[in-house]
Structure 1
Amino acid sequence: MARHTVRRSSTRAGLAALLALPLALGACGGGSGGGSASGDPGTLRVLDYYNSEPNASLWNSAIEECGTTVGVKISREAVPGDTLIQKVLQQSSSKTLPDVLMLDNPDVQQIAESGALAPLDDLGIDSTGVADGVLKASTYEGKLYALQPVTNTIALFYNKKTLEAAGVTPPTTWDELKAAAAKLTAGDQYGFAMSNINTYEGTWQFLPFMWSNGGDEKDINTPETAAALQLVKDLMTSGALSQSSVNWSQADVADQFTAGKAAMMINGPWNFGPLDETEGLEYGIVPIPVPQAGGKSVSPFGGEAWAVPQTGDEEKMKKAAELVQCLNSDENEVEISLGTGTVPTKPELAGQVTSKNPNLQAFADQVPDLRARTGELGPEWPDAATKIYTAVQNALVGGMTPEEALEQAQNG
């Protein structure tokens, strides 16, 4: 998500089922895949969901400039985020897929599985320098199907004035988090806030705790994941985390933080705008606390990747691949990161961004260790994500222990 992929993708739990038949049928016309209305051979059709600022202007400029570099005209269509997949389904069925397609990174493997995308390796795409976890999200059965230039993730935001007044330093471990959250809880202010909602958003926010403690989505019924869930439950039981968090989206969490009702929160850089507009708010950002001192915080990542659909027009597909390569150039990664509050997927470029926007440091530092939600389970990830947020809900408000909730979710 250029701003917050997770919110949008959380509405599509049934994506795999929706894709299976239409895209598979669309990809059966010989070896050419979904097919495309050929149109002007010198024009590339581009489909994305960057229809709001600052993404709309920044990406339009990058796409147009890359079109000039590649030597083609651009016909770009930007649709609302929650309609993109349906648009792709329709175009696949009518054999009018675009030449270049932007996809939310967790969707890439499911679209690739359908046969609608061309392997970028076969088109000469160079992915050198991109973080391994980012590449895994766009890889299916050993082949890369999309390339992602920028990304985002989540971290711990804290109110500098509030922590300073309480004599609290930003926590780095789970024990420090519990102690700090307890000390910062007073009156109508909670010490800590996060989204525990029963959607993919809730899963997204729980993953850093689960992964950093050695938990794994292939089987969530483990002591490692139970300990992570116990941490969240303990925070809620102690009163440092609101019970209402089981209904909060990430936007709701940000609202609590800006209103002074939460001293710390887990959230992402897409909130910089509202935070910076809040009079008197001074905030800092650090990695999400880990189980033990010295451990690594492992988080999921958002953002969109660019793919080349199987249109059957080999010459245009080659030009499309050149455009994708251009969009992922070092220059574009840096410029778009600075313009949208994201970070480059190539760790070596981080300094060029953080030197101009220090608030991005905590996010850029995580890029080498970012983990793809679909990295292990591929198209089966939505099922695991559903199990995770179901277990979180059952443990927090369903009266179950973490062990009971995880066992039921995993085996139920």
Structure 2
Amino acid sequence: MTTTRGRLRAAAALVISACLLAGCSKGSEPGASGTGAAGGDYTIWDPYPQFDDGSDWVKLLTRCGTDAGVTVKRTGYDTTDLTNKALLAAQQSNSPDVLIVDNPVVSTLADAGVLTTTDELKVDTAAVEPNLLAAGRIGGKTYGIPIGANTLALYYNKKILDGAKVDPAAIKDWASLTAALEKVKATGKKGITFSAIGTEEGSFQFLPWFWGSGAGLTQLDSAQGVAALELWNGWLKNGHAPNSVLNNTQTTSWQEFAAGDFAFSENGTWQLANAEKTGFEYGIIPIPSQAGGTAPAPTGGEFVTAPVQTETGRYPVTEKLIACLSSADNAFTTDTTLSYIAATEAVQQKQVAANPQLAVWVEAVKAAKGRTSDDLGTKYPKISQPLWTAFQAALSGSASPAEALKTAQTTAAAATK
């Protein structure tokens, strides 16, 4: 029988080896202070070290603490560093009261016994979009509530499409998108750029095409999955996408698009501010599925969770802090700051009313799904790595799409037994 401590050690190893988001920063030593159910200090850890004490985000945390009658002690960590510190703190029975983590990490922490469930804490999740909440559901239980979500869509350069006589509104499936790329190439311009790097960033960008084919992560070498990889492979062979995608991160892929020569860029909500700085007119359309309609893109974004405490009398205040952070008014402000789409329909409508440009992103988020959804949980990193190895092999020409995905399925099946 696996002990909680053993699961914590295994979870720590999984997080480090998977390296869902690269880079670590150093922070203060973990630890929650204060005792009892009322008053005292309550600790919040988040993955936003870019926000200092004068930021709107930290002011919100402070105000939520004041409203709950406590003092909030907040620390911002780099994402990977935060996860490792959370696992270590749990081993030492010294967890923060509130922990905000990247959504794929929730299953790792839950499996290790680090997190309480929303039922235990009496957190109301009724208004949250089910597809977003699914990233925090493991074994029929929900661990936390999404603070918001980001995802992927296709940015386009209007001048290039006009020159190629392409109507972006007519792009509804793979065939119409590839036809648009052919028209762009005929004008001497470049087609589409994306990230196919051999890391989680690459898998994140491949998933809309993979899921959009009808494929599932438990059968990587299905006919549908092969079709998705053949799509990418065909774009490279036909000159619609550059060979640089093999090494592109999402940032370097965006830089290629921002230079003004590409018709399309697969990228996320986090590039909206940069899109305004490109100097050319742009637009955004959802990533199309193979047969038509919006493809399910993976969700990014964080969950607000509550680690297990030995002093369970702290939970009522913790619930108040989480309710404050996820309230409609605060979610609207926070998601605007983080360039996220809200997790509830009511706040999504408020976002679109304030900025109609967000409508396409709301559509994309409504179709999106968590990488650990379908009850994959901690199996996901063991599937993602063979998947990115497969598209790297196919795009570099060392294996056919079918061969590469067959190898990936064998590897993933062995790793997830």
TM class by smaller structure: 0.7 to 0.9
Question: Deviation of residue 331 (structure 1)?
Answer: 1.0
Question: In the TM superposition, what are the counterparts of 1:250-399 in structure 2 within 5 Å?
Answer: 250-278=250-278, 280-293=279-292, 295-376=293-374, 377-399=376-398
Q: Paired residue for 1:77, among 75, 78, 99?
A: 75
8 Å contact from structure 2 (residues 79, 102) kept in 1: no
The C-alpha deviation readout for 1:124-168, integer Å capped at 9, x for no partner, is 110012111211111122111111121110001001121112211
Q: Counterparts of 2:175 and 2:124 in 1: how far apart (Å)? A: 43
Aligned residue number for residue 25 of structure 1: none
SS at match of 1:102: strand
For residues 36 and 55 of structure 1, do their structure 2 counterparts lie closer, same or farther at Cα, with a shift above 3 Å needed? Answer: closer
Aligned residue number for residue 39 of structure 1: 34
Question: In the TM superposition, what are the counterparts of 1:172-251 in structure 2 within 5 Å?
Answer: 172-185=172-185, 189-251=189-251
Q: Which moved more, 1:88-97 or 1:151-160?
A: 88-97
The C-alpha deviation readout for 1:299-343, integer Å capped at 9, x for no partner, is 110001111111111121221122112211111221122222211
8 Å contact from structure 1 (residues 20, 114) kept in 2: no
One-letter identity of the residue aligned with 2:174: W
Question: Deviation of residue 82 (structure 1)?
Answer: 3.2
One-letter identity of the residue aligned with 1:18: A
For residues 20 and 245 of structure 1, do their structure 2 counterparts lie closer, same or farther at Cα, with a shift above 3 Å needed? Answer: closer
One-letter identity of the residue aligned with 2:407: Q
For residues 275 and 366 of structure 1, do their structure 2 counterparts lie closer, same or farther at Cα, with a shift above 3 Å needed? Answer: closer
Q: Counterparts of 1:242 and 1:139 in 2: how far apart (Å)? A: 38
Q: Paired residue for 2:137, among 123, 135, 139?
A: 139
For residues 56 and 237 of structure 1, do their structure 2 counterparts lie closer, same or farther at Cα, with a shift above 3 Å needed? Answer: farther
SS at match of 1:180: helix
Question: Deviation of residue 277 (structure 1)?
Answer: 1.9
8 Å contact from structure 2 (residues 15, 84) kept in 1: no
Unaligned 5+ segments in structure 2 are: 1-8, 17-29, 412-417
Q: Which moved more, 1:57-66 or 1:122-131?
A: 57-66
SS at match of 1:155: strand
Q: Counterparts of 2:210 and 2:270 in 1: how far apart (Å)? A: 23
For residues 82 and 274 of structure 1, do their structure 2 counterparts lie closer, same or farther at Cα, with a shift above 3 Å needed? Answer: same
Q: Counterparts of 1:367 and 1:56 in 2: how far apart (Å)? A: 30
For residues 125 and 303 of structure 1, do their structure 2 counterparts lie closer, same or farther at Cα, with a shift above 3 Å needed? Answer: same
The C-alpha deviation readout for 1:243-300, integer Å capped at 9, x for no partner, is 110100000111001101321010001112222122x22110010022123x342111
Question: Deviation of residue 20 (structure 1)?
Answer: 9.1
Q: Counterparts of 1:281 and 1:54 in 2: how far apart (Å)? A: 33
Aligned residue number for residue 6 of structure 2: none
Question: Deviation of residue 364 (structure 1)?
Answer: 0.7
8 Å contact from structure 2 (residues 52, 58) kept in 1: no
SS at match of 1:234: helix
For residues 172 and 116 of structure 1, do their structure 2 counterparts lie closer, same or farther at Cα, with a shift above 3 Å needed? Answer: same
One-letter identity of the residue aligned with 1:63: L
8 Å contact from structure 1 (residues 38, 313) kept in 2: no
8 Å contact from structure 1 (residues 233, 395) kept in 2: yes
Q: Counterparts of 2:317 and 2:243 in 1: how far apart (Å)? A: 52
For residues 187 and 163 of structure 1, do their structure 2 counterparts lie closer, same or farther at Cα, with a shift above 3 Å needed? Answer: closer
TM-score (norm 1): 0.88
Aligned residue number for residue 18 of structure 1: 13
The C-alpha deviation readout for 1:343-399, integer Å capped at 9, x for no partner, is 111123222101222332211112332211101211110011112111111111133
Count residues with an aligned counterpart. Answer: 384
SS at match of 2:45: strand
* Pair 1:101-2:99 in alignment: yes
Q: Counterparts of 2:42 and 2:154 in 1: how far apart (Å)? A: 41
Q: Counterparts of 1:54 and 1:166 in 2: how far apart (Å)? A: 46
Q: Paired residue for 2:126, among 128, 139, 146?
A: 128
Q: Counterparts of 2:14 and 2:312 in 1: how far apart (Å)? A: 24
Q: Counterparts of 2:188 and 2:90 in 1: how far apart (Å)? A: 52
TM-score (norm 2): 0.87
Aligned residue number for residue 49 of structure 1: 47
Alignment RMSD: 2.2
Q: Counterparts of 1:126 and 1:92 in 2: how far apart (Å)? A: 25
8 Å contact from structure 1 (residues 117, 145) kept in 2: yes
For residues 20 and 409 of structure 1, do their structure 2 counterparts lie closer, same or farther at Cα, with a shift above 3 Å needed? Answer: closer
Q: Counterparts of 1:410 and 1:212 in 2: how far apart (Å)? A: 18
The C-alpha deviation readout for 1:6-50, integer Å capped at 9, x for no partner, is xxxxxxxx98452699xxxxxxxxxxxxx9654254221111121
Aligned sequence identity (%): 33
Q: Which moved more, 1:37-46 or 1:385-394?
A: 37-46
* Pair 1:61-2:56 in alignment: no
Q: Which moved more, 1:402-411 or 1:63-72?
A: 63-72
Question: Deviation of residue 88 (structure 1)?
Answer: 1.5
SS at match of 2:191: coil
Aligned residue number for residue 4 of structure 1: none
Q: Counterparts of 1:366 and 1:268 in 2: how far apart (Å)? A: 10
SS at match of 1:343: coil
